[in-house]
Chain A
Amino acid sequence: MSKKGYFTELYVGGKSLLVGLGVTFKACLQPIVTVQYPREKLDITPNYRGHIELRRDPESGECPCIVCGMCARACPSGCITVEGEKKEGEKGKTLTVFALDFTRCSLCGTCVETCPKGAIDFSQDYNIAGFTREEFHYDLIRRLEERG
Chain B
Amino acid sequence: MSEAQAPLHHRFHLNMGPQHPSTHGVLRVILEMDGEYVLNPQPVLGYGHRMQEKMAEARAWPGFYPNTARMDYAGALHYNHGYCALIERLAGIEVPPRAEYIRVITSELNRIASHLLWYGALLLDLGAFTPILYTFDDREQILDILEDITGSRLTYCYFRAGGVSRDIDDKFVERTRAFITRLRSRFPMLEKLVNGNVIFLKRVEGVGIIDKDMCQRYGATGPVARGAGVPYDVRRAEPYSVYPEFDFEIPVGENGDSLDRFLVRFKEMEQSLRIIEQALDRLPDGPVMAKVPKKLKLSPGDVSFAVEAARGELTYYLISDGTEVPYRMRIRVPSYSNLSVLPELCHGMLLSDLVAAMGSLDLVIPEIDR
Residues of chain A having any CB pair with chain B under 8 Å:
12-14, 16-17, 19-20, 22-24, 27, 33, 45, 47-49, 74, 76-77, 106-110, 113-114, 122
Contacts of A122 in B (CB 8 A): 151
Which of A17, A27, A47 is close to B198, meaning CB atoms less than 8 Å apart?
A17
Contact with A along B187-200 (1 / 0, CB 8 A): 00100111011110
Contact with A along B143-154 (1 / 0, CB 8 A): 010011111100
Which of A16, A22, A106 is close to B66, meaning CB atoms less than 8 Å apart?
A106
Is B323 interfacial (CB-CB < 8 Å)? no
Chain B interface residue number, banded: 20 to 34
Q: A12-B198, A113-B165 are in contact. Are A108 and B65 (CB under 8 A)?
A: yes
Contacts of B157 in A (CB 8 A): 106-109
Contacts of A13 in B (CB 8 A): 198
Contacts of B150 in A (CB 8 A): 47, 49
Contact with A along B167-187 (1 / 0, CB 8 A): 000000000000000000000
Segment at the A interface, from B41-49, B56-64, B308-316, B356-364: B56-64
* Chain B residues numbered 64-78 whose CB sits less than 8 Å from any CB in chain A: 64-67, 70
Is B327 interfacial (CB-CB < 8 Å)? no
Is B240 interfacial (CB-CB < 8 Å)? no
Residues of chain B having any CB pair with chain A under 8 Å:
59, 62-67, 70, 130, 134, 137, 144, 147-152, 155, 157, 165-166, 189, 192-194, 196-199, 294
Are B166 and A47 in contact, CB atoms less than 8 angstroms apart? yes
Are A48 and B147 in contact, CB atoms less than 8 angstroms apart? yes
Are B192 and A20 in contact, CB atoms less than 8 angstroms apart? yes
Complex alpha-carbon distance, A27 and B135, angstroms: 13
Which of B130, B144, B151, B193 is close to A109, meaning CB atoms less than 8 Å apart?
B151
Contacts of B134 in A (CB 8 A): 27
Which of A19, A77, A110 is close to B62, meaning CB atoms less than 8 Å apart?
A110
